[in-house]
Amino acid sequence: MSLFLDVVSVDAAVETVRRITPAAGCEDVPLESALHRVLAKDVCADIDVPGFDRSTVDGYAVAAADTIGASEAIPAMLQFLGRVSMGSTDPGSISPGSCRYVPTGGALPAGADAVVMIENAEQIGDDLLVHRPVAPGENVIRRGEDFGAGKVVLERGRVLTPREIGVAAAVGADRVSVVMVPRIGIISTGNEVVPILERPAPGQVRDVNSYLAGAFVTERGCRPVYFGIVRDDRAALMRAVASALERCDAVLISGGSSKDERDNTAAVVAELGEVLVHGIALAPGKPTIIGTARKKPVIGLPGHPASTFVVLVAIVDHLIAAMSQTTVTRRTLRARLTQNIPSTRGREDYIRVSLEDGRATPIFGKSGLLNTLVQSDGLVRIPASIEGLEVGEEVEVILW
């Protein structure tokens, strides 16, 4: 087997992942169970929201024309006809020169087109003195101004946060169609890998990547399925991957991706399906494998956790987005570099940085070191088209 990797660009790798990833199915769930799920179908308003003209303040419903020229010195005088009760289905009406009290959220009486705030008026018996003019529509929400009946209020592909849940409730969506939660198989490989409760002997390491990858996909709305540690035995890995493919929508395999005599991952993927990419112009993370088996995507991750995390961000994020029918969204901020960052043209580099007072300080460390993950606040991406970044340059930091 060749020891040289035929690398592809990160963009090409992402395109490959998106091309081979089938969208997950959908299911209807109760609204109270839909938090953080992805909408599979648009949610439309069943009624006008609000269903009536209503006040946004405590005050007096008036015809705006009756308040023209009103001031502290010369207030407009209106006839007070009574109060509109909260929740009243019949708020009554007013005629020119009259008004009614209406609470915040209360229905506007017929004939009113504005509301005078209570602090800008003074009630004396059956009269109201208005000390400030109002314009038509002031302090009022019109029927259907929020959402019109039949209009899309939440589009497919949106992740349902508490805000969206509230909007769905307002339009009577007691059940919503959401994308089924993708199941991602997680496999760790290597004779040197031991369970985390076991004290490693010389030459051994604890199984970091199962937990790292599992937490990553969980954070993005997927369900990890753990298949444990597989030794460097091709037949054993074949059985584990086959089992994962039976139960899951995609499989992540950490370790065994380097081009050497233990390159079991690529061999197993090739036997079960097809290896499409083996090597990405990405640092860290060059030996990443992208393949498909039984019509499901299989990603071979590097063995070093810091490299694995970069590949999860740069590649697996797009796999999850394609499955979930969403787009990759990242929390980012702008900062200025405190020192130069060298890079090789033709390779996309992801450099860990710490942030303080708008400054980004590179944390250089070997891909096998874990401390850079907790000492850093995010990543700076260096495009393959340039040779590094210079001190003082403004960069975009992808936050953890």
Identify the band that residue 367 occupies on the pLDDT scale cut at 50, 70 and 90. Answer: low
| Res 258: pLDDT | 58
The helix (run of H) or strand (run of E) holding residue 311 is: helix 305-311
For residues 31 and 248, give the distance between their C-alpha atoms in angstroms, rounded to a whole number: 26
Q: What is the mean pLDDT of residues 189-197?
A: 95
For residues 156 and 39, give the distance between their C-alpha atoms in angstroms, rounded to a whole number: 5
Task: Give domain status of residue 2, yes or no.
Answer: no
The tokens for 380 are: 């700076």
Q: Is the pLDDT of residue 3 over 60?
A: no
- Which of the pair, 312 or 370, is modelled with greater confidence? 312
Same domain, 214 and 283: yes
Same domain, 302 and 190: yes
The CATH number of residue 377's host domain is: 2.40.340.10
| Res 4: pLDDT | 45
Same domain, 315 and 341: no
Instruction: Using alpha carbons only, give the angle 343, 344, 348 rounded to the nearest 5 degrees.
Output: 80
Q: Which of 213, 216, 176, 214 is nearest to 38 (CA)?
A: 176
- Percent over 70 (pLDDT), the chain: 96
Task: Give domain status of residue 306, yes or no.
Answer: yes
Same domain, 70 and 119: yes
Q: Which of 307, 308, 314, 288 is nearest to 365 (CA)?
A: 307
Task: Give domain status of residue 5, yes or no.
Answer: no
Buried/exposed 82-114: b ≥16 CB within 10 Å, e otherwise: eebeeeeeebbebeeebbbbbbeebbbbebbbb
Task: Give domain status of residue 119, yes or no.
Answer: yes
Same domain, 188 and 264: yes
| Res 5: pLDDT | 61
Domain that holds residue 336: 332-399
Which residue has tokens 């891909």? Answer: 367
The CATH number of residue 267's host domain is: 3.40.980.10
Instruction: Write down which residue in 93, 120, 141 finishes a domain.
Output: 141
For residues 178 and 30, give the distance between their C-alpha atoms in angstroms, rounded to a whole number: 10
Mean pLDDT, the chain, whole residue set: 94
| Res 369: pLDDT | 72
Q: Which tens digit of pLDDT belongs to each residue from 252-288?
A: 999 875 555 447 899 999 999 999 999 999 999 999 9
Q: Which tens digit of pLDDT belongs to each residue from 71-128?
A: 999 999 999 999 999 998 899 999 999 999 999 999 999 999 999 999 999 999 999 9
Instruction: Write down which residue in 324, 347, 379 finishes a domain.
Output: 324
Q: Is the pLDDT of residue 309 over 80?
A: yes
Same domain, 66 and 99: yes
| Res 179: pLDDT | 96
Buried/exposed 207-239: b ≥16 CB within 10 Å, e otherwise: bbbbbbbbebbeebbbebbbbebbebebeebbe
For residues 108 and 121, give the distance between their C-alpha atoms in angstroms, rounded to a whole number: 17
Same domain, 215 and 254: yes
Same domain, 295 and 186: yes
Domain count, the chain: 4
Same domain, 40 and 76: no
Instruction: Write down which residue in 141, 160, 194 finishes a domain.
Output: 141
| Res 80: pLDDT | 97
Same domain, 286 and 200: yes
The CATH number of residue 31's host domain is: 3.90.105.10
Q: What is the mean pLDDT of residues 43-66?
A: 97
Identify the band that residue 160 occupies on the pLDDT scale cut at 50, 70 and 90. Answer: very high
| Res 257: pLDDT | 56
For residues 56 and 118, give the distance between their C-alpha atoms in angstroms, rounded to a whole number: 12
Q: Which tens digit of pLDDT belongs to each residue from 118-149?
A: 999 999 999 999 999 999 999 999 999 999 99
